[in-house]
Amino acid sequence: MYTNTRSSSRNSVRPRAVNFARKPFHNKRGAHSPNRFSRSSRPISGGRRGKSERIDITRFINKVTVTEEVSHFTPTHKFQDFLIDARLQASVVLKGYILPTPIQDRAIPQVLLGHDVVGIANTGTGKTAAFLLPLIHKILQNKKEQVMVIVPTRELAIQIDNELREFVKGMKIFSVCCVGGAPIGRQIKDLQYVYNFIIGTPGRLKDLIDRKLITLSEFNTIVLDEADRMLDMGFVNPMRAIMAGMPQSRQTLFFSATISLEIEKLIGEFLKEPIRISVKTSDTSKNVDQDIVRVKMGEEKIDTLHDLLNQKELTKVLIFGRTKHGVEKLSKVLTERGFKAESIHGDKNQNRRERALKLFKDNHVQILVATDVAARGLDIADVSHVINYDIPATHDDYVHRIGRTGRAGKGGKALTFVD
């Protein structure tokens, strides 16, 4: 446990001593107001979906243990073993893929066979390639095939679209990315050309369908990625409307890191005798060292965060706040204090959100402050720390937040502020 104090007990559970000695800074707008940020150890309802749960703070602590004996996953296949088109094989080799991840190893053969699939795997384990590769092969066999991929957030849709474009270079396979927050006119224009994939968010897709610009009967394959998040965000009715308009004989793929009772109901509605694949080892990655940060009585939460961010090991930090307003305010305060910080939340337009993400991905800023819109699906390399400045509304939110670090087999740390 991290505590804002200048001395530490010899019996501390921390892996190393943390120096919280304040570094001097100049605030050109004057001294920090003690009431600018409130302290709370309880999940707060409202925010993005108006529900929360009481989370035992011990669930925010999970120390990584390194032992001599480590069990390694041994894939059944190599990428070259999959029965996919030679052009796609060459693209996979070009990207340097040799051995599939567990979800890829188990799911790709089943998708190639045409089965409905429910894939459950920890975040950061390669779910996107697990459905993209066999579906690209499907289209290479029949260029008239069309695939719809539905995701909860604009950022995830853009990320999947970019990954698709990398795989299909020179193959004359085309996609349209249809997301809210971006000009609809451009998307309407793109839909007038030939395409094989539509990748989008439920609200924008429903809008385009209602305008009769997308004909659902033409799609024989649909992917629901992070469908639990779409349910949480209130997209269940658009999802049901889209599924109702598709052919009964479709192939449906469902990928997520978490499955709830409500999601089980949707699986029963949408999928037909699905193959269930679960390669999830635990709720949270074993590569993520998790701990809490206690703020001492009389100390300011923002000052504790300031001291943390001055530690040299915090090289690339994703900070989560509960509200759009709070995230924007925190980003500005950190910038005033001399940190290189950007923010991402629902009040920012698409161009500003993409710019903030690019600056963070390219290491032009050290800190990205975000609402939970950034928690699902985003693949940002080398995030050293995730800091939960505000306690997440649910444990599932916590799982997805800290899944932004410790990806691709690398280690990471997650710290949660509590009183």
Rounded average pLDDT per 10-residue block, the chain, 419 residues: 42 36 38 38 40 65 43 74 94 90 93 94 81 97 96 90 95 96 93 96 95 96 88 86 94 84 88 88 69 86 94 94 94 96 87 89 94 71 92 83 79 89
Cβ(147)–Cβ(161) below 8 Å: no
DSSP category for residue 274: P
Does an H or E element contain 301, and which? helix 301-309
Cβ atoms 100, 79 nearer than 8 A? yes
pLDDT of residue 59: 65
String of b and e for 272-293 (b: at least 16 CB within 10 Å)? eebbebebbeebbbebbbbbbb
Residue 199: strand, helix, or coil: strand
**Angstrom distance (rounded) from CA 117 to CA 324:** 35
Which residue is associated with the tokens 């690019």?
Answer: 358
CB-CB contact of 214 with 246 (8 Å): no
Amino acid 373: pLDDT = 72
Q: Which residues contact 18 (CB under 8 A, 6 or more apart)?
A: 2, 8, 308, 311
Query: Measured between alpha carbons, how far is 243 from 75 in angstroms, rounded to an integer?
Result: 34
The angle subtended at Cα 61 by Cα 55 and Cα 65, nearest 5°, is 150
pTM: 0.66
| pLDDT score for 227 | 80
Instruction: Provide the 8-state DSSP code for 125.
Output: S
State the pLDDT at residue 287.
Answer: 78
Query: Residue 408's pLDDT is what?
Result: 66
CB 385 within 8 A of CB 414: yes
Report pLDDT for 65: 38
CA distance 271 to 249: 10
The pLDDT of residue 274 is 94
What one-letter code names the amino acid at 366? Q
Pairing state of beta strands 288-294 and 412-418?
parallel
What kind and span of H or E run contains 88?
helix 86-94
Which of 394, 402, 341, 343 is closest to 367 using CA atoms? Answer: 341
Go through the domains of the chain in sequence order and give each one's CATH number. Answer: 2-62+284-418 (3.40.50.300), 79-278 (3.40.50.300)
Q: What pLDDT score does 26 carry?
A: 38
Q: Distance between CA 190 and CA 200 in Å, rounded?
A: 13
| Strand, helix or coil for residue 163 | helix
Q: Which residue has the tokens 């029949």?
A: 142
The C-alpha angle with vertex 295 and arms to 313 and 305, in degrees rounded to 5, equals 35
Helix 236-244 and helix 202-210: axis angle, to 10°? Answer: 50
